[in-house]
Amino acid sequence: MIQEIEYKQVGQFEKSKFEKIHNEIFPDSSVASKLVAHEIATLIKQKQQEGKPCVLGLATGSSPIKVYEELVSLHRSGELSFSNVVTFNLDEYHPMDASHQQSYYHFMHQHLFDHVDINPENINIPDGTVPLQEMDQYCIDYEMKIKKYGGLDFQLLGIGRTGHIGFNEPGSHPNSGTRIITLDHVTRTDAASDFNGLEHVPKKAVTMGISTILKSKRVLLLAWGHKKASVVKQTVEGEITSNIPASFLQQHKNTTIILDDEAASELTRIKTPWVVDQCIWNEQLKFKAVTWLSQELNKPVLKLTDKDYNDNGMSGLLAVEGSSYDLNIKIFNNLQHSITGWPGGKPDADDTNRPERALPAKKRVLIFSPHPDDDVISMGGTFLRLIDQGHDVHVVYQTSGNIAVTDDEALKFAEVAQNFHSDKDDDTYTKVIEFLRSKNQGDIDILEVRKIKGLIRRMESVGATRYFGLDDEKVHFLDLPFYETGKIMKKPLGEEDIKITEDIIKKIKPHQIYAAGDLADPHGTHKVCLDAIFNAVKNLKTIDFMNDCWVWLYRGAWQEWDVSEIEMAVPLSPHEVSKKTNAILYHQSQKDRVMFQGEDSREFWLRARERNRNTAELYDKLGLADYEAIEAFKRYIF
Ligand code: F6R
């Protein structure tokens, strides 16, 4: 049965001092996507009962994928027919052939149309092959066709980091209709990894206009993840401006923005709820508020005054806590207690106020690394300390990371191997070399090429762990199957991935697990790897040794924990920072021309350095000691 829609409708939303568009926040994008799919399904059925077509405006990109999954599953279970559905897609790259793997035509068929009973004649996707001189007429016809159906009943949207909806980039006019546009550089950078490099991303696209979208009777915009947080805030709370085209949705009477916690994290009511309304002050919120105030006023925690609190909407907090003096000391102590140079616990010390247990003095430690380099990038200093302090450290690389090795790099190794090898006609080398030399953009690597790329990353990892003094038998490679598609698009997490993860945990019986809690990597691999670990530890929960196992989450190359979330802060000396840097540099295939850079174009060692330095500076500014660098962790309770 289709569930009742659980998010509040627009009518129940009152514009506040801060928010100008109705929005609903969910802890998880999967649950939210199901609700969105159910709203669409309800509309399709309602139109069916009225004997009318249901005209849907559809989007591509990562945001709506789970919505389409749910619509397909409703169809498969016999609950939903698309027989009365007419669709108009928002956009298509130009020039772009429908048969291209990255075309939106391909995307829509792959994720939705090939799996439902929609009449192919009812599918409308802008044609990326229309010659430029015919484009104006083509766009007018596209608009006319929407109009002929009585306009869009529903428009699904994602949002780009530039604030684009459809491909209406900054500068788009509210009256704009369907037209050809030039893509913003940021948008092209975001698409670069899908196209195997910025140079292959088309420069133009055909898109419905802002006015086309605003005419839809209902609009739902989806935004997931930390990297959308800033543009979501500008869209929901900022002025209406063509610099953020999504802000024009403030003029639409029936728009809802659906967010996950991360995408909502910059909204004022989430980030600083105390400036919006009365708060219920739990310990976590107090910590967040005080550390925020200290940063906002650029004053160490111990110097905050009653007036500072009152002036910033926190008089309620003072009322609960008595005075700024007591509150400051409490929060300062919390921060102080998070700092430890003994990430595996300090033997023979009172651990009441330490992040880790003193016993057992020698712990079995399992460091999970989603790709073969996240371990050193994100927690290289802590890794080193754990080894130096005598713990039994194992590192487990979850995926092969083969996708991120360039063809040139693989060719280099294959040719070296072929030349070194006495049998020059060895089939494997010839096959690899010939494939790579004739490979076309978008071709999927043959198995042998994937293998050599995976091996390059393996050997780089072993180089780095040997440099840290770790024995080779403590380095494990899982090559989780979900990752091994040869494509950027991975399979969903499967039972086998979880089973492999459980097996390694059972084998090592760790007292500590470290895992990448970074949910913002561009292709979601970290998130899948983390889900594999969460599932595995939950499944193993009842086994005895797990009672003694603590899970610590680090963050990857893309973001850091908010200071109020950090439960263990490990300071690094200048010497440790330079050893960590050297370890990162062992990953030569990820240097210079990194394929999956994300939004930051700097090399990983530089980003890691700066991030750890920033965390140290933050602690210093809050009034704690001035360390060279700090790596930060948050505990996960399972
Ligand atoms: C897609 C589209 C774009 C995307 C936006 C977000 O048809 O028009 O506006 O919705 O770029 O992309 P994702 O969802 O991949 O973050």
Q: Each residue of 458-514: pLDDT tens digit?
A: 999 999 999 999 999 999 999 999 999 888 778 889 999 999 999 999 999 999 999
Which of the listed residues 60, 155, 190, 260 should we mutate to test ligand 1's pocket, taking the one with most ligand atoms within 8 A of CB? Answer: 60
Cα angle 297, 19, 256; round to 5: 140
> To the nearest whole percent, how much of the chain has pLDDT over 90?
81
Mean pLDDT in residue range 199-209: 96
Tell me if domain 50-269 and domain 364-404+447-636 are identical in fold.
yes
CB 208 within 8 A of CB 216: no
The per-residue pLDDT for 2 is 39
* C-alpha–C-alpha distance, residues 487 and 102, integer Å: 12
Report the chain's mean pLDDT, rounded to a whole number: 93
Q: Which of 16-25, 151-160, 214-223, 458-467 has the lowest mean pLDDT?
A: 16-25
The conformation of residue 168, written as its DSSP 8-state character, comes to B
CA of 166 to the centre of ligand 1 (A): 7
Ligand 1 within 6 A of CB of 59: yes
> To the nearest whole percent, how much of the chain has pLDDT over 70?
94
Mean pLDDT in residue range 80-86: 98
Residue 168 CA: which ligand 1 atom is closest? 9
pLDDT band at 3 (very low <50, low <70, confident <90, very high): very low
The per-residue pLDDT for 520 is 55
Residue ID of nearest Cα to ligand 1 atom 1: 60
Ligand 1 within 6 A of CB of 160: yes
- Residues marked active site are found at 169
Is residue 597 predicted with pLDDT exceeding 70?
no
Ligand 1 within 6 A of CB of 90: yes
The per-residue pLDDT for 181 is 97
SS (H, E, C) 452-465: HHHHHHHHHHHHHH
Query: Which residue carries 């200048």 as its tokens?
Result: 574
The per-residue pLDDT for 492 is 84
CA of 492 to the centre of ligand 1 (A): 21
Mean pLDDT in residue range 60-71: 95
Mean pLDDT in residue range 604-620: 94
Q: Please give the residue that has the higher pLDDT: either 345 or 560.
A: 345
Beta bridge pairs of residue 87: 56, 123
The per-residue pLDDT for 629 is 97
Is residue 523 predicted with pLDDT exceeding 80?
no
Q: What are phi and psi of 571, to 5 degrees?
A: -75, 145
The CATH number of the domain covering residues in 50-269: 3.40.50.1360
Mean pLDDT in residue range 581-599: 79
* C-alpha–C-alpha distance, residues 474 and 468, integer Å: 12
CA of 238 to the centre of ligand 1 (A): 21
| Tokens of residue 31, six digits | 């649950």
Q: Which of 130-144, 247-261, 421-435 has the lowest mean pLDDT?
A: 421-435
Q: Please give the residue that has the higher pLDDT: either 556 or 312.
A: 312
Residue ID of nearest Cα to ligand 1 atom 2: 166
Is residue 638 predicted with pLDDT exceeding 50?
yes
Residue 58 CA: which ligand 1 atom is closest? 7
| Tokens of residue 435, six digits | 């494939």
Is residue 310 predicted with pLDDT exceeding 70?
yes
CB 86 within 8 A of CB 124: yes
CA of 59 to the centre of ligand 1 (A): 7
Is residue 519 predicted with pLDDT exceeding 70?
no
The per-residue pLDDT for 83 is 98
Residue 225 CA: which ligand 1 atom is closest? 16
Is residue 385 predicted with pLDDT exceeding 70?
yes
Instruction: Output b/e per residue, 342-379; b: 16+ Cβ within 10 A.
Output: bbbbbeeeebeebbbbbeeeebbbbbbbbbbbbbbbbb
The per-residue pLDDT for 610 is 93
CA of 188 to the centre of ligand 1 (A): 12
* C-alpha–C-alpha distance, residues 44 and 54, integer Å: 6
Torsion sign across C-alpha atoms 584, 589, 591, 596: negative
In angstroms, the Cα distances linking 18 to 14, 141, 467, 626 are 11, 40, 52, 37
The per-residue pLDDT for 488 is 77
Is residue 295 predicted with pLDDT exceeding 90?
yes
Instruction: HSE, CB side, 13 Å, CA atoms: give it for residue 620.
Output: 12
* C-alpha–C-alpha distance, residues 317 and 309, integer Å: 8
Instruction: HSE, CB side, 13 Å, CA atoms: give it for residue 487.
Output: 11
Residue 63 CA: which ligand 1 atom is closest? 14
The per-residue pLDDT for 183 is 96
The per-residue pLDDT for 521 is 55
Query: Which residue carries 């108009």 as its tokens?
Result: 88
Ligand 1 within 6 A of CB of 245: no
pLDDT band at 4 (very low <50, low <70, confident <90, very high): very low
146-201, pLDDT tens digit by residue? 999 999 999 999 999 999 999 999 999 999 999 999 999 999 988 887 887 888 89
Ligand 1 within 6 A of CB of 225: no
The fold adopted by the segment(s) 364-404+447-636 is: Rossmann fold (3.40.50)
Q: Which residue, among 343, 387, 397, has the nearest Cα to 630 in the 3D structure? A: 343
Is residue 309 predicted with pLDDT exceeding 70?
yes
Q: Which residue, among 418, 422, 356, 412, has the nearest Cα to 389 in the 3D structure? A: 356
pLDDT band at 35 (very low <50, low <70, confident <90, very high): very high
259-278, pLDDT tens digit by residue? 999 899 999 999 999 999 88
| Total-model pTM | 0.86
* C-alpha–C-alpha distance, residues 534 and 565, integer Å: 19
| Domain segments of the chain as ranges | 50-269, 272-338, 364-404+447-636
CA of 116 to the centre of ligand 1 (A): 22
The per-residue pLDDT for 358 is 97
